[in-house]
Amino acid sequence: MEGKARILAFGFTSAEELRIDEGLAALGVPAPLKLHQGHGGLTLRSILEGAAEAPEAAEDRPGAERLVLFHNVSDAGVQSLMRFFRQTCDGRPIFAVVTPTSIDWTLAFLLEHLLEERAALDARPQVQ
């Protein structure tokens, strides 16, 4: 896929965004593109191309679903960054890689799809 490597983050509180930005800066990684509800109707492609300015975050929504998307990040980078986010953030973020298919999906559609996948995985019987 085209474009530079980017991390996109959705659903984090202002305090979490600050911790993420500071932690990534310490690692030499640029801050993620912060996504909010106002981005829901935009495709990932348009967001990555910068067609839309990031809307101001509404007040923090504790418990909102958290999503971290990786675009053009190496497999090793994704694994390392997933560990970073798990250590830095509250809750259980959903992690996904932007694919040639999902890049043309709206953020809202992608999040809906990922939530369905998580629910299906959570509903599977646990193997002991």
Q: What is the mean pLDDT of the chain?
A: 87
Q: How many percent of the chain have pLDDT more than 70?
A: 88
Instruction: Give me the percent of the chain exceeding a pLDDT of 90.
Output: 64
Per residue in 14-64, pLDDT (tens digit) is 899 999 999 999 999 999 999 988 899 999 999 999 865 555 555 544 456
Least confident of 15-19, 54-58, 93-97, 114-118: 54-58
Structural contact between residues 67 and 9, judged by C-beta atoms closer than 8 angstroms:
yes
d(CA 48, CA 69): 11
pLDDT attached to residue 37 = 86
When pLDDT is averaged across residues 82-94 and rounded to a whole number, the result is 90
pLDDT of residue 62: 47
pLDDT tier, 75 (very low <50, low <70, confident <90, very high otherwise): very high
Beta partners for residue 61, in sequence order = none
Indicate whether 80 pLDDT > 90: yes
DSSP category for residue 91? S
Q: Supply the pLDDT for residue 82.
A: 96
Which pTM does this prediction carry? 0.85
